[in-house]
Every structure is written in structure tokens, then in C-alpha cells.
Chain A
Amino acid sequence: MTAATLYAILGGLLFCLAFHALVVAGHPLRRLLAVNVMGSSVFLVLVAGAAPGDPLPQALVITGIVVAVAATALGLNLLLRLAAPPADDTTAAGEAGE
């Protein structure tokens, strides 16, 4: 079995593990972390499938990492607001005129 195939299988296993953690975990932070690991596992599979010197998977993975970072930031922000709502938060004011 080549290294590439090994990494691909590992990626798949990691995906399943992280998915399991996502479903089972109670705390939202753990869930967010599980999703992050799922993301990483997919990137692993992507890279593992790449022919040497093929720029496309690398571009894909970089894009994917950026997206993951943004998503994680959004998720963390939501978590923070849930845990400790800011005092004078204008966006929490809801609809106008109420």
C-alpha cells in the first residue's frame, strides 16, 4: 500500500472519528473542534490524492483552510455571545421600534 493510500484511509478514519465526536459531544465547543478535525481530515484526503507537483489540490486545501478559519471564528463568536452577552450590544437589540 502506498503512502498516499495510507494517508487517504487515515483521513477517512479521522473523518469518521470526528463525526462521531460531533454527534456525541455535549458542549458546543467540543462540537466545533470536532468539525475542525473533520475539516482537517478532508484536507488530508485531498492532499493524499494529489499527484506530485499537482497545484490544484494544494490550492483547494489552502482555500479550505481559509474557509475553516472563518467558520470557526463565526462559531466561536456565537459561543461567546451565548455564554456572556455583551451589555450594550446594538445587534442584540432586535427589530426597530420595539
Chain B
Amino acid sequence: MTVTVLLPLLVLWPLAAGLLALLLPRGAGTTLLVASAGNLGLALALAADVATTGGGGHSVGGWAVPLGIALRADGLSALLVLVTALVLPLIALHATAAYADAERRYFAALLLLFVTALNGLFLAGDLFNLYVTLELLGLSAVALAALGGSPAALLASLRYLLATLTGSLAYLLGVALLYRAAGTLDLLALAGQGPGLPGGALAFALMVAGLLLKAAVFPLHFWLPPAHANATPPVSAALSALAVKAPLYLLLRLWLTVFDGAWPLVAELLAAIGAAGVLWCSVQALLQTRAKLLVAYSTVAQLGYLVLAIALVPVAGATAYGAFALLLVSHVLAKAGLFLAVGNLARRARHDRIDGFERVVQHMPLSASAIALAGVSLMGLPPSGGFSGKWLLLQAAIAAGDWWLVAVALTGGLLAAVYIFKLIEHTFGGSDRPEATPLPRRMEWAAFTLAGAAVLLGFLAQPMLALLGGVP
């Protein structure tokens, strides 16, 4: 399959499947699983294609820019589409066991729309389509977060909605300013133009602010912990793993392509908030008594690392770019696995207080192992994708001479060890009351597979970096 067919299919397939799931009350679960498998196949084909040809583009419907919709794939896009496609079937597997029929339909439909938005975002070639996919992503994420139905979940989703809309509108305002100045919205056409445009700096500032809010980067992270902690486990997994990564990807793309990595002040600011996010949110994580909140704060802390990597790209080039990709992919896998595993334990225990986990963990060794494996990657201990990413981040920071970033990265790892082992400590012990109903096996296997993949990524860093290619 050539890129010409693959790119639009990657957007249309999950979209069609999502609508189908909505229309089929009882076939939703199957639709979701089949759609995930299909999506995975398409993503693999795209990755293979990009690996050999280095990327390509397609104008949907034959309409060329500036009127048409341009889809483009390069190493980073293909990688992100692939990792989304890898996580989706496992979350789907978990969810089909976790949800009853009625919610399953809505979950399936919303998750597929969520994936449509993600694929569209990673493959979009112009600024406005990025806005549309960002909005679709945000809205489907909010709806997913609200699926739990509890007042806490609804309140958190409302806050999430307001935050995400504000972020998108700030981004759109930036797009509007850019269009006024440049007369085009195509990414390739705008490449390198940004700094020279009148109002370019203001536009960039607005877009960055909006994207940072959508990505819940410190100090704009207030909406994330309640939203992710009160959502159901498959939703938390999807949101923490994927929803917050897309705006960061976009930030990197914009800065490198349109704005040519200009303005060292941006790098310094990003480094500062990234560092603060890592430290502050790691501390917040280890102060939590509820497991889901701990994991949610861990997400924000880990996002800080991604921002650090972005900040280092102009100076450290391919090393920082590789660090960004590795840290992102390993976090996707590890965080999804962690949320699913913690969700399993919480479901069995009927609460998510960490110190109550001993009583249920006896019969859930897979979930406990998943927590441990995901934790290894999150702590950045070898062998894992998290370690490989951390190594590259350290090399980038040393090469840039930013020793304080080295200190931040290492301290963050130590803090992560504290809160991860706080979780793991309580997976040793106790005995279960025998009458509790066992969890469907595939819920545990889904968590374990994701966490194991995060660890395995440690050995696959080189092939992944090969797919990634050079800095655009």
C-alpha cells in the first residue's frame, strides 16, 4: 500500500468504525477490536513505508494546497501513529471486559473517534487541520473522561473541557495571526517563515501557551489529576498515554518547522517549566494516598521530561530529538500499563487507597508485575525504554552544558523511585478474602503486555531511532 492510500485510510478507518460502533448497540465490542486490529495493520504498513522511503504526502481528494487537506508522514509521525495503534488494541481488550454492554458502545465509539483525531493530528500537514483534530481530540477525551458518570468525574471533565477549549482557542488565535501575516496555512509552505513574519512572535506565544495548557504542562496542569484519576481505568490509560502527548508533538513540530527553532528564550523557558514540572509534580505524586492520583501526578511529572527534551533540540539536535521520541513512546506504554494495572487492583479492592492494596494483590500477580515493570520504565532504570530515553536526555544536556538539567533529570528519577516503590511496596503482602470475584484474565494481561513492552523497548531503541530519522 502506498502512502497515497494509507494516509487517508488511517483517518477514515477509525472514523467509520467509531460511527459503526455507535449504530450497533451489541456489536460495539467486536467493532472496536476489529477496528483496532485494522488500525494496527495500517500503522505497520505506514511505518514500513516511511522506513524505506523516508516519508511522503497526500492531498485528500486531489485538492492541492492551499484549499485542500494535506496529509504528511515522516519518521516521527509514523512512529506516533504506530505507538497509538499498538496501545489501542490492548486498551480495547481491557475495556471489553471492564465495561458492560451499554457503556461499551459509547466507550468504543468515543475511543475510535479519539484515535481518528490522533491519527489525523499526527498526519496533518497544515495548521487549520491541526486545529480541527486538536478539537476533536479534546472533545472525545472530555466525553471519555465523563463516562464514569460520578459527580467527581463530571466536574473534572467540565474543568477539562474548559481548559482544553481555552487552549484550542489560544492556538486558533495564533493561527489567525499567522494567516494574516503569511497568507497560507500549509506547514511546508510556512517552514522557516515564522520568525520573520509580523506578529509571528505573538502568534507563537499564543500557540505555545494554548498547547501547554492542553498538554497539562506545569504550571498549567491543574485540570489533569482530577480528570485522569476520576475516569475509568481504560480511559485514564488512553488519556494519560496519548491525549496529552499530541499537543507536545505539535509544539515540537511548530517550533522546529514553522519557527525554525528560533528564540533561545523559548528554550530557556521550556527548560525551566519542564524542570519545575518534573520536580514539583514528582513531589506531589509521592504525597498522594490514592493510587490513581499518584499515577496522574506522575504523568505530569513525566511530561516535564518531554518538555526538557524539546527545549534541548535546537542545541543538541538528534540526541535530544531521539530522547523526546524514546521518552514519549516509553511513557505511552508504561503509563497505559500502569493505569490499567492500578485500575485492576482498585476494582478488586473497591477503592484505590494505596495502603489497602496488600489485601487484594495476592491473586493478581500479573497486575502487580505490570506495576513493577511500568515502574522500572518510569523510574528510568535499565533495561527499559525510559532508561534509553533518560540516557539520551542526559547526553543532550551534557552536550549543551546544562548541568542543572542533568541534576533535575537524576533527581526526578530518584523521586520517581520513591513514589513507584511506594506503590510496589504495597504489592507485597496480605491475603485476599476468598469470595471476591476474580478479574477477567485479559484485563491483567493487557496491563502486563503494555508494561512489558515499555521494558522491551529498552532493547529496541536503535530500530526505533532508525525509523525516527533525523531532525526535521
Contacts and interface: CB of A to CB of B under 8 A. Distances in A.
B154 interface: yes
A96 B149 contact: no
Contacts of B165: 35, 38-39, 71
Contact of A42 (B98, B155, B176): B176
Contacts of A31: 162
B176 A96 contact: no
B347 interface: yes
B162 A15 contact: no
Interface string B143-173: 1001111110011011001100110010011
B315 interface: no
B157 A78 contact: yes
B103 to A, nearest CB: 6
A95 B132 contact: no
A31 B232 CA distance: 26
Interface stretch (B77-85, B177-185, B236-244, B317-325): B177-185
B157 A93 contact: no
A31 B169 CA distance: 14
B156 to A, nearest CB: 10
Interface in B66-107: 66-67, 98-100, 102-103, 106
Interface in A19-55: 19, 22, 28, 31-32, 35, 38-39, 41-42, 45-46, 48-49, 51, 55
Contacts of A79: 158
Contact of A93 (B143, B149, B154, B169): B149
A17 interface: no
B106 A91 contact: yes
A95 B135 contact: no
A96 to B, nearest CB: 4
Contacts of A82: 151, 154-155, 158
A94 B232 CA distance: 8
A42 B147 contact: no
Interface string A64-98: 10010011001100110110010001111111111
Interface residues of B, number: 42
A51 B157 CA distance: 39
Contacts of A85: 151
* Interface hub of B98, B139, B176 (most chain A Cβ within 10 A): B176
Interface of B is mostly: helix
B161 A75 contact: yes
Contact of A22 (B66, B158, B166): B166
B436 to A, nearest CB: 11
Contacts of B162: 22, 28, 31-32, 35, 75
B437 interface: yes
Contact of A56 (B100, B103, B154, B185): B185
Contact of A49 (B98, B149, B179): B179
* Interface hub of A19, A42, A49 (most chain B Cβ within 10 A): A42
Contact of A92 (B149, B183, B347): B149
B158 A28 contact: yes
A80 B199 CA distance: 41
B173 A42 contact: yes
A60 interface: yes
Contacts of A91: 102-103, 106, 147, 149
B150 A92 contact: yes
B176 A93 contact: no
B142 interface: yes
Nearest to B151: A82
A74 to B, nearest CB: 6
B128 interface: yes
Contact of A96 (B99, B142, B155, B158): B99
Interface of B: 66-67, 98-100, 102-103, 106, 128, 131-132, 135, 139, 142-143, 146-151, 154-155, 157-158, 161-162, 165-166, 169, 172-173, 176-177, 179-180, 183, 185, 232, 347, 350, 437
13 contacts: A35-B166, A41-B173, A45-B173, A49-B177, A56-B67, A56-B179, A71-B135, A71-B165, A74-B143, A89-B149, A94-B232, A96-B99, A98-B350
Given A55-B67, A93-B100, A94-B150, 16 more contacts: A31-B162, A39-B169, A42-B172, A48-B180, A51-B183, A56-B66, A64-B131, A74-B139, A74-B161, A75-B161, A78-B154, A81-B149, A82-B155, A90-B103, A95-B99, A97-B437
Smallest CB-CB A-B distances: 3 pairs: A92-B149, A49-B180, A96-B100
